[in-house]
Amino acid sequence: MKQKIKAFTLMEVLIVVAVIGVIAAIAIPSYTRYAERTKRGDAMTALLSAVNSVERYKASNNFSYVGADTAGIIPTQVPVDGGTPYYTIALSNVTATTYTITATPINSMAGKKTLGINQNGSKTWGADNCWPESGDSC
């Protein structure tokens, strides 16, 4: 008497592989966009925190921004708590009444748009005069 061997057929295995491939083709790009939006959100938060630090510096130094760029009052990278950075933060164009803070994408975010904010609260994202509220557009 022969025993019947229970197993998957080649067709069943190929169908499962195809379904997994379709799911991966949809999920991976979606996850990548989500990760980029999250990292950009971290940079936006770090810039707003840096603005607060620069304004506190101004209030403590005769209402002038001069010297804020060398005082070490803002973080230099995002994430601010260490780890592999994906943005660098810089304070520039510092005068008594003006400054600009920029977050330049590096490493995993290289090639993405730079974020910026100035003393008036004017925000930029690349060439756009805005910050993306959600998603990839202003």
51-73, pLDDT tens digit by residue?
A: 999 999 999 999 999 999 888 89
**Could you tell me where the beta strands, DSSP code E, fall in 33-72?**
none
Interatomic CA distance for residues 22 and 13, integer angstroms = 14
DSSP label at residue 2: P
Mean pLDDT in residue range 28-38: 91
Residue 115 burial (C-beta neighbours within 10 Å; 0-12, 13-18, 19+): buried
100-111, pLDDT tens digit by residue?
A: 999 999 999 999
73-106, pLDDT tens digit by residue?
A: 999 999 988 889 999 999 999 999 999 999 999 9
Mean pLDDT in residue range 35-45: 93
- Model confidence at 1, pLDDT cuts 50, 70, 90, reads low
Interatomic CA distance for residues 26 and 82, integer angstroms = 32
The predicted structure's pLDDT at residue 25: 92
Set out the domains of the chain in order of their start, with CATH numbers. Answer: 10-125 (3.30.700)
